């Protein structure tokens, strides 16, 4: 059992491609904060090398817009650094544009579509309370 928990919360009304896109971006943010969660490279039976992946499971939850804002506020209150993705980032084409559009919003005005976090298990459970497992 791990002392920490990784949770991604995506907005429940997104198209499948958007959920997958947001999940990938949020995961990269969590990993950038804690590179020690990356394990060893994988090798298949023929000796081919594959990318290393996280050493612990990642849960994917869904929530509505209001619940996402509540989750973000809980994380901010506890000073837990999160990965955040807003709806306007779907219309950009690169990292600099994503950061530019993101900077135009506050936690109260952001059109959140996803959050990612890693912290002590009990803290993550408290922060994400109300979100449900992705079906």
- pLDDT tens string 3-23: 999 999 999 999 999 999 999
Q: Where are the domains of the chain?
A: 4-133
Where is 8: in which H helix or E strand? strand 4-11
Q: What is the pLDDT of residues 38-87, one digit of tens each?
A: 999 999 999 999 999 999 999 999 999 999 999 999 999 999 999 999 99
Residue given tokens 């309370």 in the structure block: 129
Q: Is residue 1 pLDDT above 90, yes or no? A: no
3-class state of residue 133 by DSSP: strand
Distance between alpha carbon 114 and the CA centroid of its chain, in Å? 6
pTM recorded for the entire structure? 0.93
Average pLDDT, stretch 120-131?
97
Distance CA 11, CA 62 (A): 6
Q: What is the pLDDT of residues 30-40, one digit of tens each?
A: 999 998 999 99
Look over the chain and give the mean of its residue pLDDT values, rounded to a whole number. 96
Question: Is 9:70 a contact under the CB 8 Å cutoff?
Answer: no
CATH class, 4-133 region? alpha beta
Q: Is residue 25 pLDDT above 90, yes or no? A: yes
Please tell me the predicted confidence (pLDDT) of residue 6.
97
């Amino acid at each position: 059992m791990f002392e920490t928990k990784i949770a991604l919360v995506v907005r429940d009304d997104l198209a499948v491609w958007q959920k997958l896109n947001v999940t990938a971006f949020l995961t990269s943010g969590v990993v950038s904060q804690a590179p020690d969660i990356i394990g060893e490279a994988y090798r298949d039976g023929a000796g081919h090398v594959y990318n290393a992946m996280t050493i612990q499971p990642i849960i994917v939850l869904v929530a509505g817009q209001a619940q996402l804002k509540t989750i973000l506020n809980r994380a901010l209150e506890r000073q837990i650094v999160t990965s955040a993705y807003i709806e306007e980032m779907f219309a950009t084409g690169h990292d600099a544009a994503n950061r530019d559009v993101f900077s135009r919003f506050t936690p109260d005005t952001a059109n959140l579509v996803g959050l990612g976090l890693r912290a002590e298990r009990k803290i993550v459970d408290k922060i994400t309370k109300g979100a449900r497992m992705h079906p």
